[in-house]
Structure 1
Amino acid sequence: MNAIDQIPTKREDLAGLAGDIERVEAIFSSWDETQRNAVEAYRRAIEDLHGEALRRLVRGLKDEPAALAAMKQAVTDEVVYAVLRRHNILKPSLSERVEAALDGVRPMLASHGGNVELVNVRPPAIEVRFVGACDGCPASALTFHAGVKKAVEEACPEITDIIQIKGMSNAADNDSVRFVSPFALGAVGGWHLVCRLDEIPQGGISAVVVGGQNVILSRQEGVVSCFQNACAHLGMELDGGSIDEGIITCPYHGFRYDLSSGECLTAPEVALQSHAVRVIGNRVEVRLSS
């Protein structure tokens, strides 16, 4: 009995059927190139035949209300759904597209010991939650807006409300070290000691010069953020602007920014340039972005 004869047959669940295919593919992978190419050509021919047959079947039935209802019921079966998705007869579900968007930012989160999970999909809204080091991290607002929110909005424009569900972490209560968002723009160079934490007014900002650049430090509910002291509109300095409940208004042309994330509330397509910031004890350190 050869290796292929030992592959179990008549499995019914998707995982088992897919596992059988993977085991057969593992056997093929040990064959020489000519044999592998022949198997690949055979596989493509079979898939093309099945795909065309399925497309003709769907086209022939979709105009019949009863048949259409039956097809909609059939695709709730995981095997039927997987095969129709394989042949691009069904479009990916909204949940799948959201997960794909989140997969795009997960490597960055993982590099900081964190992750994001999709909690709920209720169009036009979704709910997400940070886990691991990202849960409760003071830099999570920047990570959410510059990473997760942006990725989902680009991939799924029909989602207009992305809600961050808070986790159970108490990390925000730890004043000894403040973590840096992995989405702080291209941080380069080392850390600069810029001031003491108590020199930044609670609910306000402090303008300082770091490495020859003008920046503002914001302290909102214990979270310290750092941004270029330049409005994204025309580059005018922001430190003379009014602040109301964590929102700073440019004193020149009225552009408004969320000081926890740098997000522009006046023109959502722009944002303040962010810099990495951390607090160790009472020391505030900044690492400039490129």
Structure 2
Amino acid sequence: MAPPTLPGLHDSQDDAQWRTAGERIQTLLDASSSGGAVARERAEQLVREVTDLYGAVLMRMMEVALAADPGLADRFAADDLVASLLLVHGLHPYDVERRVSDALDSVRPYLGSHGGDVSLLGVADGVVRLQFQGSCKTCPSSSITLELAVEDAVRAAAPEIASIEVVAADKDPSAGLIPADSLLTRLRSNGHRSTAWQPVPELAELSDGEVGGFRVSGTTTLVCRMGDDVFAYRDQCPSCTGTLAGAQLSGAVLRCPGCGAGFDVVHAGAGVGGDRHLEPIPVLMRDGVLSMATPQEVA
């Protein structure tokens, strides 16, 4: 059972405001450049002084709190907002291996929806060693969603790591294993677009079994909710190349309103009775907000 989060913080209406504070601070710093190099330098120094001050105060508060109740370490770590602030100041109560392991646990259900899994082999000298297992139920584009899910979760939990190393699993020709060299490299190779995570809090408003269309960073997506899980796909039917607007779910199968082709939204958009598939777009909970990894054109 997961430890309880801190009361009052995660339920606060202002929670989302503080989660995006870093972006607002960076925007203000960028704006200060208009006053010249000196103005920018002074603004950065001001931020450093304030950050160091609050870091020193947080360290003393952590020492007092954990001395009084060691169990608070679990509660601090379980609250995304508190944990992220502690990470900034190097005060997180868990070591890097524990954080990486917990991060992988958080995305394991998502990997399972793509027929995959991941094991943590260890963390040493800033290098996280992983091994992927399982069958990929669609084309290699599904492995890209796995890459994004795993890398984002690991780097968010342990920003101090230097790199992620994938160790190849023993191959089983009948299982259609996801090749290890396709993971954590595809988004950096030529011919692929880069990605950027965009918060889309509106996704949380979808009800069970509902299908909604969203325009995110210029990309039109179709989003389906199945119970507590949210799945997103590019708005294009691979069979007729038409839009999926108006598509409905029948169980876990999404039917194209144009040609009637069916796709399993739970298993990476695999075609029902055919080899065509939807193009998945990763959706993960990041800093307490559902976010989508949208493709960006490479300059």
The TM tier, using the shorter chain, reads 0.3 to 0.5
- Kindly name which structure, 1 or 2, has the bigger radius of gyration based on alpha carbons: 1
- TM-score (norm. length: structure 1): 0.40
- TM-score (norm. length: structure 2): 0.39
